Amino acid sequence: MSRLLLKGGRVVDPSRGVSDFLEVLVENGKVIEVSRKATASGAEVVDVSGLMVCPGFIDLHTHLREPGREDKETIATGTRAAAAGGFTAVCAMPNTDPANDTAGITRAILEKAKTEGVVRVYPIGAITKGQRGEELAEYGDLREAGCVAVSDDGRPVVSARLMRRALEYSQAFGLTVIDHCEEPTLSSGAAMNEGPVSTLLGLRGAPAAGETIMVERDVLLAELTGGRVHIAHLSTAGAVDAVRRGKARGVKVTAEATPHHLLLTDQLVKDSEYDTATKMNPPLRSEADRRAVLAGLADGTIDCIATDHAPHSVDDKRVEYDQAAFGIVGLETAVALALDRLVAPGHLDLGRLVALMSTKPARVLGLPGGTLAPGSPADITVLDLARKRKVDPAEFLSKGRHTPFAGWTLTGWPVMTLVAGRVAHNDLQHHAAKPAKGR
């Protein structure tokens, strides 16, 4: 396999505390050398002058919809969207149809990812059979087949006893349990966050307390069992507080937040006049919640930024607000949103952002990558902090088109994505390397 030299860029690798002008030499799918002047004989040179070279970004929370809902997304389209958005790996949630609750389905997903995907796909298995919240799925088989965690995402594990068992049993296989935290008796029928805005809009609301209660419960159960719990798409001030206190006590709890919960509030549902691109679960919360989540991100309580990329067909969204499907796409906007709205205004520095989207996600689930240390996979995300572009859903590679960020002009975009040393996406204006097919 050919050698590739990324030359002229600034390497930002928080796994090793590096932020410097270095050359990165890649060979046989691995990083060989990162130094001021790499031994580059015979290497194809990619000029990345003026750009940031980072360990590949990893999304812990993606819905690829395959198998079962290929009308909404496929492994082929979802991974292309991921590559375009700067992600070299995605963790695929198991709420497919059928749910990914057995080794056979996990293997089928991985097989498809190998032939049709352009980034790494790490399947997440179901916590319970059929995600029904009744019996544990076969974690041993799921792990062996390639699952990197378990989750009933989209559905909370309602029974505290079953959640306890999951947190206990998962330890035999080193699996983290990812929970969608929502107390369903408080949120049934809700279309948005409960608060003054839902009152004025006459929409049924889910109170923030409904999420917080479950996060508190999960932290306590992780403490009780010694298991590892990861809180998906955390969105309330109370949930941030629960995770913060849990971490202070040494509980094995980690958490992620999405760009939309970091940047938007429920006021947008009103301002957009019931635009269903503002409908997702958990819903956009209050300004106080948003600020608390941002503070949790800044102080390290929240470990990662994840997309909760949830593509839907037009028909599932172009209906009455309370009938519309929950979920928006995020893979192709997350990095640019973070650069423009979190890094540029100074909420985070660039190294911290790379940690939140690469190094930390890798650590949370024990995945390869998240670093450019020699010997590690050559999964690389290249950022152009000066690139300015408007979010246009018509240009998305995902089949999903619904995003509340349509029309936003953002500065700072991913411009090249390498997976195992091969180009998965290339938007470099001065370099003509073609994206490889498959990997």
Partner 1 sequence: MSAGFPHKHLLGIEPLEPSHIETILDTAQGLREVLDRPIKKVPALRGKTVVNLFYEASTRTRSSFEVAEKVLSADSLSIATSTSSVQKGETLLDTARNLEAMNPDMIVMRHSASGAPHFLARHCRSAIVNAGDGAHEHPTQALLDALTLRQKKGRLKGLKVAIVGDVLHSRVARSNVWLLTKLGAKVVLSAPPTLMPPGLGALVPTTHSIDEAVEGADAIMMLRIQLERMSGGYFPSLREYHRRFGLTEERVRRAHKDVIIMHPGPMNRGVEIASEVADGPYSVILDQVTNGVAVRMAVLVLLLGGTQETQA
- Residues forming the active site: 308
To partner 1, the closest distance from the beta carbon of 269 in angstroms equals 9
CA 224, CA 167: separation in Å to the nearest integer? Answer: 9
Residue with tokens 């966050």, as numbered in its chain = 193
Q: Which is nearest to 52 in space by CA: 298, 386, 429?
A: 386
In this complex, which beta carbon is closest to partner 1, that of residue 172 or of residue 314? 314
CB of 44 closer than 8 Å to CB of 396: no
Site residues for partner 1 per CB under 8 A: 194-203, 273-274, 315, 318-323
Residue 436 burial by CB count (10 A; 0-12/13-18/19+): exposed, middle or buried? middle
To partner 1, the closest distance from the beta carbon of 289 in angstroms equals 14
To partner 1, the closest distance from the beta carbon of 212 in angstroms equals 16
Phi, psi of 35 (to 5 degrees): -160, 175
Residues 278-307 as b or e (16 or more Cβ within 10 Å = b):
bbbbbbbbbeebbebbbebbeeebbbbbbb
In this complex, which beta carbon is closest to partner 1, that of residue 43 or of residue 191? 191
> Token digits for 396?
């998305």
CB of 57 closer than 8 Å to CB of 381: yes
In this complex, which beta carbon is closest to partner 1, that of residue 102 or of residue 198? 198
- 75-84 helix and 103-116 helix, angle to the nearest 10 degrees: 60
Q: How many CB atoms lie within 10 A of CB 407?
A: 10
CA 80, CA 94: separation in Å to the nearest integer? Answer: 19
To partner 1, the closest distance from the beta carbon of 267 in angstroms equals 12
To partner 1, the closest distance from the beta carbon of 240 in angstroms equals 21
In this complex, which beta carbon is closest to partner 1, that of residue 117 or of residue 195? 195
Give the chain's radius of gyration (CA, Å): 21
In this complex, which beta carbon is closest to partner 1, that of residue 301 or of residue 403? 403
Q: Residue 128: helix, strand or coil by DSSP?
A: strand
CA distances 207 to 277, 302, 318, Å, are 20, 21, 25
Q: What stretches of 191-290 adopt beta strand conformation (E)?
A: 192-193, 205-206, 229-231, 253-257
| Kind and range of the H or E run holding 364 | helix 360-365
CB of 129 closer than 8 Å to CB of 103: no
To partner 1, the closest distance from the beta carbon of 293 in angstroms equals 20
> Token digits for 265?
């509030």
To partner 1, the closest distance from the beta carbon of 313 in angstroms equals 13
Residue with tokens 């001030």, as numbered in its chain = 237
To partner 1, the closest distance from the beta carbon of 317 in angstroms equals 11
Taking the C-alpha atoms of 418, 354, 343 and 364 in order, what is their torsion angle to the nearest 10 degrees?
A: 130
In this complex, which beta carbon is closest to partner 1, that of residue 132 or of residue 318? 318
In this complex, which beta carbon is closest to partner 1, that of residue 298 or of residue 314? 314
CA 25, CA 32: separation in Å to the nearest integer? Answer: 6
In this complex, which beta carbon is closest to partner 1, that of residue 151 or of residue 198? 198
